[in-house]
Amino acid sequence: MITALAGGVGAAKFLKGLSRVVKTEQLTIIVNTGDDIKISGLHVSPDIDIVIYTLSNVVDRQKGWGLREDTFKFLEGLDRFGIETWFNIGDQDLATHMYRTHLRNKGHTPSEITSKIARAFGIKNIKILPMTDEDVETWIVTDKGEMHFQEYLIKMGMIPHVRGINIKGIEKAQPAPGVIKAIEEATIIIICPSNPIISIGPILKVSKVRETLKRSSAKVVAISPLVGGKPLKGPADRLMRGLGLEVSSTQVAKLYKDFLDEIVIDEKDANEEHAIKSLGIKPLIIDTIMSNEEKAQCIAEQVLNLQNESL
């Protein structure tokens, strides 16, 4: 059984490649919900949705998010009334959020809703689990004040200087049904190429998750989201610097050191090999840029080979 911890776009691309080389019924994905936000009365789960859209082949690959060939008439209508429309919701995408909100209002849990949405998009065998059924929101403390992560990322364009991270509600967050079992029963656990601070970080802060990873007998492999010491997309470097951390794959390895066996890093970061080995973690140096599904599949195959090497 393969269990993956996942954030947004980078994770979704990798998981698409992984789904091409494993039996899908063997795969369980635990997804960050700290990015969730309520917009115009709708519950939006960006990381859950990008994983579902990508695995079901309907994602807009050019934009890297949302649904292919979507339109934005809904946002144009809101704009007419002077309502803020900085969070891009396409018309088909809107249906997902309305359905999620409808089910939430009827008392369904995020776990139940995620399963229903995945099935509606044709995903039948892969288990996609939110990290928790409690509401958790990641807020960024900046020199312009505290703001929701989505506001920092999209509305503010990652410009304010980061001074801290506040994951609201995390202290009460219990693992969603199936999360702990998925970690305990895994033969390999993969930390996807996701932001270690606000994508993987919240998952690790959910009660019992980190402790279960530490005592797992499975091989735990992380894929660094950095290439040449920089993220291909997103604010990982800004957030790491804001927390006083070095922006490097070595630092990513340090953040996971208490449970990590191996880390996959890009060829451009080969100079970090010795530093990573000194942590007691084995680095695998390959080309990690997922320019297409074939490249993502190739990386997935190399990650899975790490498990075979330990048998």
Kindly report, residue by residue over 194-224, the tens digit of the pLDDT.
Answer: 999 999 999 999 999 999 999 999 999 999 9
In a 10 Å sphere around its CB, with 0-12 CB exposed, 13-18 middle and 19+ buried, how is residue 161 labelled? exposed
In a 10 Å sphere around its CB, with 0-12 CB exposed, 13-18 middle and 19+ buried, how is residue 265 labelled? buried
d(CA 132, CA 206) in angstroms, rounded, equals: 7
> What residue spans define the domains of the chain?
2-135+171-309
State the chain's mean pLDDT as an integer.
95
pTM: 0.96
Q: Among 120, 121, 99, which residue's Cα sits nearest to residue 108?
A: 99
pLDDT confidence of residue 311? 45
d(CA 256, CA 269) in angstroms, rounded, equals: 18
Report the amino acid identity of residue 276. I
Instruction: Give me the phi and psi of 264, to 5 degrees please.
Output: -95, 125
Confidence band of 309 (pLDDT split at 50, 70, 90): low
Best CATH choice for the domain 2-135+171-309 from the list 3.40.50.10680, 3.40.640.10, 3.40.50.10190, 3.50.50.60? 3.40.50.10680
The pLDDT of 5-28, averaged and rounded, is 95
pLDDT at 65 over 90: no
pLDDT at 289 over 70: yes
Q: pLDDT higher for 12 or 23?
A: 12
pLDDT at 83 over 90: no
User: In this structure, what is the dihedral angle of CA atoms 253, 257, 260, 263, given to the nearest 10 degrees?
Assistant: 20
Confidence band of 269 (pLDDT split at 50, 70, 90): very high
Pure H helices in the chain: 9-19, 46-55, 73-80, 91-105, 110-120, 149-150, 179-184, 200-205, 209-215, 236-242, 249-255, 273-277, 293-309
d(CA 272, CA 260) in angstroms, rounded, equals: 16
d(CA 15, CA 186) in angstroms, rounded, equals: 16
Cβ pair 264, 288 in contact under 8 A: yes
